[in-house]
Amino acid sequence: MGCCRAFAYVVVVLAAFLTAVTHRYAAKSPKEWDEFLHYHRPFPLNTINGVHKFIQEFIYAPGLVHFDPDALEAAAISRAGLDDFGSPTYRAGLEQLTAAANGDSRLTLMGALVMREAITNYLHRRLQIVNHAKEHPELQELKVEKPIFIVGLPRTGTTLLQSMLSSEINELRAPLQWELYAPFPVPQADDELNKAQIAEAEFITDGALSLIPNMARMHPEFTFDPSEDIHIQAFEFNTRLFTSFMRAPTYFRWIFNDSVDLGYLMDWHETFVRHLMSDEGRHQGRRWLFKAPRYLMMVEEIFAKYPDAYIVHTHRHPEKSVPSMATLETLTGGVTSDDVETELVTRLCIELYEYAANKTMQWRLEHADEIAAGKYKILDIHLDEMKADTGAVVDRIIEFADLNVSPEEREAITEFQKNFGIKKHKPYKPKPELFFNVDENGHFMPDESPIMQYYRNFSPVKDANESYLGGSTVSYATPYASAASSASKPEL
């Protein structure tokens, strides 16, 4: 009886401790957040993360999960049974990322485990892709001909456009989500042969959606949907993908720095696409359709790698797109942390896209004559145009990119656009006031912002009561980050 009482006492004490720790360290959303952004954590997950935070505060500050580049490489080598990562260009990004994870990332225990597994998996897959290329030297002869790149700020209709065109135009092919999550072995034409890879991708997708179920309301992307090239860039560890899910301002600023050579990102892009184009694969004889937010600052690098590329620039008023991207970044940041700062998210979004918009704007102005002459093929479209008359926009793209489209495909595209929003379930309208100091007219972005300058230079749609620069040369404004106050909302 004494042993039973002692055991019961231990159980009660342990339960009381776990309950106290859970409540003490449970995720606490800022009061100003609405229901869409608030954390919704199951009690067991809060308990696991709470115990880890207790350990960090009172026992061992670094926590139970450490990120060491050499150890992560060793884990990937052991998993793959291979040891050649190919070009060492990935290593600088890996070191930057792991330093951020070990630093002020504020990762929960589950978040740290998720990030560690993601890094190991990308290293593992890189080993396999590099080895496959070595075993098949004929891949070097494959040409990525006349690819189409969708370029623009996030939340400007890039996902809609890529999904609509690649799903309904047989000539086009976009990388599917499962092909990017599980690219080895080479995806086959018969999905019966891809079951294991598809199951792996579905496991990853379901896991992410279980942590952020509202994701589908803003960015619907499922296993068989076209996906972004940020996943291709992740194999070089030079991508926005990681900063979307982890607090890493130092790494974030590193990947958007003039000192980083973006050419090697495009080199890896070609390597990866050739991998998907292998003779035994499913991508023969079709044109590629790519997209990624990062491409807004990589127009020059795209044309350097693929001189015959076509670029479709999407536009939307920045006061609509920027709050939407800040909302999405806040939402995804909750996957690995219980301490997402809206101020930091907003500041980094603005800092990044000011830099990207200014870089591409200056390049386009400097090469205006060559663009007009057709050396560089660029088409500007506006999200409002797609919503108002999808058919007219599609016809412009078909003519611009010299696509072969049947009448049946053309009709199907319009129907696709009508049904696309169904995947989002209940729509969510971002609230700018959660992120910015909005004036009495609902405005928050100054005219001198490079994002506004870029939009006014190149958007084919003119908004009411807006003055346009008409293509005149503009100067780069001071980034918001340097002028932002320490208040909860940056002064823009």
pLDDT in tens, 373-389: 999 999 999 999 888 88
Query: Looking at this protein, which amino acid is placed at residue 72?
Result: L
- 45: confidence class by pLDDT, cuts 50, 70, 90: confident
The residue ranges of DSSP E strands in 247-343, in sequence order, are: 287-291, 310-315
**pLDDT for position 276:** 92
Domain topology for 71-483: Rossmann fold (3.40.50)
- Radius of gyration in angstroms for the set of CA atoms belonging to the chain, rounded to a whole number: 24
Given a cut of 80, whether residue 170 has pLDDT beyond it is yes
Q: Are 220 and 172 in contact (CB under 8 A)?
A: no
**pLDDT for position 273:** 95
Given a cut of 70, whether residue 474 has pLDDT beyond it is no
- 9: confidence class by pLDDT, cuts 50, 70, 90: confident
pLDDT single digits (tens) 68-118: 999 999 999 999 999 999 999 999 999 999 999 999 899 999 999 999 999
Given a cut of 60, whether residue 477 has pLDDT beyond it is no
Mean pLDDT across 212-236? 82
Given a cut of 90, whether residue 475 has pLDDT beyond it is no
- 281: confidence class by pLDDT, cuts 50, 70, 90: low
Q: Are 201 and 181 in contact (CB under 8 A)?
A: yes
Provide the terminal-to-terminal Cα distance of the chain, rounded to the nearest Å: 69
Mean pLDDT across 193-220? 79
Mean pLDDT across 427-451? 87
* 163-172, 226-235, 466-475: which is most confident: 226-235
Cα 247 from Cα 185, distance rounded (Å):
33
- Of residues 371 and 204, the one with the higher pLDDT is 371
Given a cut of 90, whether residue 403 has pLDDT beyond it is yes
**pLDDT for position 473:** 32
Q: What φ, ψ does residue 12 adopt, rounded to 5°?
A: -65, -45
| Percent of the residues in the chain that have a pLDDT greater than 70, as a whole number | 89
- 484: confidence class by pLDDT, cuts 50, 70, 90: very low
Element spanning 165, H or E:
helix 158-168
**Average pLDDT over all residues of the chain:** 86
Q: What φ, ψ does residue 314 adopt, rounded to 5°?
A: -100, 145
Residue 120: half-sphere exposure toward Cβ, Cα within 13 Å: 18
**pLDDT for position 214:** 73
- Where do the structural domains in the chain lie, given as residue ranges? 2-60, 71-483
396 strand-pairing partners: none
Helix-helix angle 109-135:43-58, to 10 degrees: 100
**pLDDT for position 283:** 72
pLDDT single digits (tens) 110-152: 999 999 999 999 999 999 999 999 999 999 999 999 999 999 9
